[in-house]
Chain A
């Protein structure tokens, strides 16, 4: 019986030692700050406008505001401006803006940043302009895309200079000047002949 008690006591003390050692081993990990990366999905993006009506060729700008609504810092992010035609018009993003991709440093919890995008409405029709944000750090390729609400851009054609409107000036000025030059030449020639 005593042997059993001693054996039980040893096992308990061993178990206690093991637990203590385990706690001691876990302690440094628990003491270090646990940094959990928030998924990019905890970022919210808003645009400062929702609707714009303009004419083709006009330069516009829109500001996107990104807020980290999570409880942990985000990965470094990449923000991308996009333009989608709602009428099926072929849209070449490069024509709209030369600056469509921006890097955004990690956002602290509750932190925010704003980016201003400038673009030129180069097609006529209805378009949605929006900003997508995706992680570019260790979470690249894993995080979900976060997309802003769209800015609806209605682009009307503009009144261009019509050929008919320009024609009088385009023809009249050279004819007038040509006549003047011709008259001066004739007068000079007549004078030379007389002399």
Chain B
């Protein structure tokens, strides 16, 4: 967010108005993300990726061999994974980027609490996921029409993707606040992303033992995607594998709580956590 939060537009420091501070920050972040051009470009790249995957699923002989449910699952998993990735990258730039552009100081001078700043940035980052989800709908429809999983696939994708996006956005903001430079923040975010996504690329039939299962259960991305496969491909009832959603839910709640509880000490002109 550049230093465009106008003091005149900010509410006075009465309690109810101060509570609306996050809305002002969020609106400004939305404008910067969507009117500033970053959001549309990311969404365009996202749609190209989904188009390629959908076209391959529809025409390629090997991918075409997949059952339709598997094609829907593949597209939805890519959508959820890339949507969450994009939110993590945007949020990893949230505070360290402001510091490097020299706009954080102006932002901190506005009568908005630091929690409100963090909340506004978090909402803006998560909005990217919701936009990505809207873009996903026609692709899932093309692949899923004719099989009765279109509605279920969308609902589950929205649920899992929202949980993962919330968790990763909050983590991205934490990383951004703690990093001394934007470069470090983005590098750490990428590393985290690779670490979380790598286990999902292991061959499905590979025996992993209890340790592998434990890692899968702890990893919010792996367990979220596993839940989607279990319901959409294996045909389990949506309540049967709900335990797989524990990890994304815990990650979202824990990262969100830590972010808001430490916001006053995290959002400052230098990276790291201040003593006071």
Contact = CB atoms under 8 A, between A and B. Distances in A.
Interface of A: 56-58, 98, 122, 158-163, 165-167, 169-171, 173-174, 177-178, 180-181, 184-185, 187-188
A181 B143 contact: no
A165 B142 contact: yes
A170 B57 CA distance: 11
A181 to B, nearest CB: 4
Nearest to A191: B35
A161 B138 contact: no
29 contacts: A57-B66, A57-B68, A158-B67, A160-B58, A160-B68, A161-B64, A161-B142, A161-B143, A163-B59, A165-B58, A166-B142, A169-B139, A170-B51, A170-B142, A171-B51, A173-B47, A173-B50, A173-B51, A173-B135, A174-B51, A177-B43, A177-B135, A180-B40, A180-B44, A181-B37, A184-B35, A184-B37, A184-B40, A188-B36
B142 A57 contact: no
A174 B142 contact: no
Contacts of A177: 40, 43-44, 47, 135
Interface residues of B, number: 32
B138 A173 contact: yes
A163 B135 CA distance: 19
Contacts of B276: none
B41 interface: yes
Contact of A161 (B34, B44, B57, B135): B57
A184 B8 CA distance: 27
> Chain B interface secondary structure, helix, strand, loop or mixed?
helix
B238 interface: no
A170 B65 CA distance: 19
Nearest to A180: B40
A35 to B, nearest CB: 38
B166 interface: no
Nearest to A171: B51
B263 interface: no
B48 interface: yes
B16 interface: no
Nearest to A168: B142
A169 B50 CA distance: 10
B64 A160 contact: yes
B48 A174 contact: yes
Nearest to B138: A169
B58 A162 contact: yes
A56 B47 CA distance: 30
Contact of B44 (A160, A174, A187): A174
Contacts of B59: 163, 166
A165 B47 CA distance: 17
Given A163-B55, A163-B58, A57 B139 contact: no
B40 A159 contact: no
Given A161-B54, A165-B142, 7 more contacts: A158-B68, A160-B64, A169-B142, A170-B142, A181-B43, A184-B36, A184-B37
